[in-house]
C-alpha cells in the first residue's frame, strides 16, 4: 500500500471456489506481451505498454505523471489521473475516467468503446462510441476521428463494432 492510495485485491471465482489476487503494480517501465487478468496500477513516473497482440482483462489505472500505450486489447475500466498521458492505438473496451489535467489520445486505428467521464482532455483520431459525461473536460475529434453511433433495435440502443 502507498501513502496516497490503496490497492484492493481482485477476487476470482472458478468452479465455486474463490481466489484473491494482488494488483500488478508498475513502478518503472514494463510491457505486457501475453494475457493478464486482474487489476494493473501504473505508479507515478512509470510507463506501461500493452503490446500489440496482448490482452488485459481488468481495471487499468494510471497514477499522476505516468505514461501508457495500449496497442493490444484492454477489456475493463481505464482511469487516467491528473498529469498522466495514455495513447490508444489498439482497443479500449470499458468505462473510461479522465481526470482534470489528464490526456487520453486515441490514434488512427485506435478504438474507445464505452462510457466516458471527461474532466481532462481526449484527442480522438480513431473511433469512439458510448455515452459521454463532460465534467469540465473536452473531447476533440481531430483529423479522421469518428464517433460511432448506436444501433436502435426493438427499443434498445447498443453499439455494433
Residues 74-127: tens digit of each pLDDT: 999 999 999 999 999 999 999 999 999 999 999 999 999 999 999 999 999 999
**What is the mean predicted confidence (pLDDT) over 61-69?**
98
Using DSSP bridges, classify how beta strands 156-158 and 151-153 pair: parallel, antiparallel or unpaired: antiparallel
**In angstroms, what CA-CA distances link 42 with 25, 26, 88, 124?**
6, 5, 16, 23
* pTM (two decimals): 0.90
Q: Which three cell numbers stand for residue 142?
A: 481531430
CA atoms within 13 A on the CB side of 30: 12
Residues 1-32: tens digit of each pLDDT: 445 777 877 676 777 777 788 899 999 999 99
Measure the CA–CA gap between 116 and 110, rounded to whole angstroms. Answer: 15
**pLDDT score for 147:** 96
Q: What is the secondary structure of the chain as a DSSP string?
A: --SS---PPEEEEETTEEEEEPPEEESSEEEE-SEEES-EEE-TT-EEEE-TT-EEES-EEE-TT-EEEE-SEEES-EEE-TT-EEEESSEEES-EEE-TT-EEEE-TT-EEES-EEESSEEEESSEEES-EEESS-EEEE-TT-EEPPPEEETTEEE---
Instruction: Determine contact, residues 129/112, Cβ cutoff 8 Å.
Output: yes
Amino acid at each position: 500500500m502507498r501513502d496516497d492510495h490503496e490497492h484492493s485485491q481482485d477476487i476470482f471465482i472458478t468452479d465455486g471456489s474463490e481466489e484473491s489476487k494482488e494488483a500488478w503494480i508498475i513502478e518503472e517501465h514494463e510491457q505486457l506481451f501475453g494475457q493478464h487478468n486482474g487489476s494493473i496500477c501504473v505508479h507515478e513516473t512509470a510507463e506501461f505498454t500493452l503490446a500489440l497482440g496482448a490482452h488485459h482483462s481488468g481495471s487499468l489505472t494510471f497514477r499522476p505523471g505516468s505514461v501508457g500505450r495500449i496497442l493490444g486489447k484492454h477489456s475493463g475500466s481505464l482511469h487516467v489521473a491528473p498529469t498522466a498521458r495514455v495513447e490508444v492505438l489498439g482497443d479500449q473496451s470499458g468505462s473510461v475516467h479522465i481526470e482534470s489535467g489528464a490526456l487520453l489520445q486515441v490514434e488512427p486505428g485506435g478504438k474507445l468503446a464505452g462510457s466516458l467521464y471527461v474532466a481532462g482532455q481526449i484527442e480522438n483520431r480513431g473511433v469512439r462510441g458510448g455515452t459521454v459525461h463532460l465534467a469540465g473536460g473536452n473531447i476533440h475529434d481531430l483529423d479522421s476521428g469518428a464517433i460511432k453511433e448506436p444501433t436502435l433495435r426493438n427499443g434498445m440502443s447498443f453499439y455494433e463494432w
